[in-house]
Amino acid sequence: MMIEASRFLASKSLDEAGWLSARSGGVTATQVARASTPKGFEGEVVALQNPEPVEDNPFMAWGREAEPRIGMWLKDRFGVLPIDWVIRHETVAEFLASPDGLSVSHATICEIKTTGKPWESYKTAPIHYRRQIQWQLFVTGAEECVFAWMWRVESGSGFADGWFEPRVEVVGVDLGMRSDLVGVAEAFLVERESRVFGL
């Protein structure tokens, strides 16, 4: 199923203010993943009531530098094109996703992470990233996500890749997790309307 053009709301590179505004109007993959525990749910509601700017740091800066080249590596091997758009769900406008890549057929998305831990002891991605992936699959309608992560190591006064190539896992749809996340998102929207907007 192709994503209709009207569901692409804003591009970060073309209009960052519009991109931020679009994301603020609904529930993103990051929010629903964090809100999936009772403590995380409360933390996300409090963050809506008292938003604080995220302070940049060298780890985030290196991640921004690494993501485009990882994205091109994924394009060459999996045919997933880098994108930076906010996409809304087909029927629920408040359900949003911002995958790092999308195939021409729209059947495959990608998600890119950098990490200070190699994750080699994991059989799959950590749970909070799996939740993000499942939400993005749900919102976009894609069938699979190519999840790629690169280990960040210290090198001189900065950072470098810890591997020659990213680690990759192709993740399919998990209907059980999807159902749980939809419930979290619906509850989060109700709580947001009640506590933030007083409705």
Domains in the chain with CATH codes: 5-195 (3.90.320.10)
* Residue from 109, 88, 103, 105 nearest 170 by CA: 109
The confidence score (pLDDT) of residue 197 equals: 56
Q: 83: closest CA among 93, 97, 98, 105?
A: 98
- Rounded Cα–Cα distance for residues 181 and 98 (Å): 16
pLDDT at 71: 95
The answer to whether 14 and 94 have CB atoms below 8 angstroms apart is no
So what's the pLDDT on residue 115?
86
What's the pLDDT at 120?
Answer: 64
pLDDT score recorded for residue 97? 97
Give residue 51's pLDDT: 65
Amino acid 156: pLDDT: 79
User: What pLDDT score does 129 carry?
Assistant: 93
- CB of 142 closer than 8 Å to CB of 130: no
Residues 6+ apart with CB under 8 A from 114: 59, 62, 63, 66, 67, 149, 150, 151, 152
Residues of the chain with pLDDT under 50: none
Report the predicted TM-score, pTM, of the whole model to 2 decimal places.
0.92
pLDDT at 160: 87
* 133: phi then psi, degrees, rounded to nearest 5: -60, -45
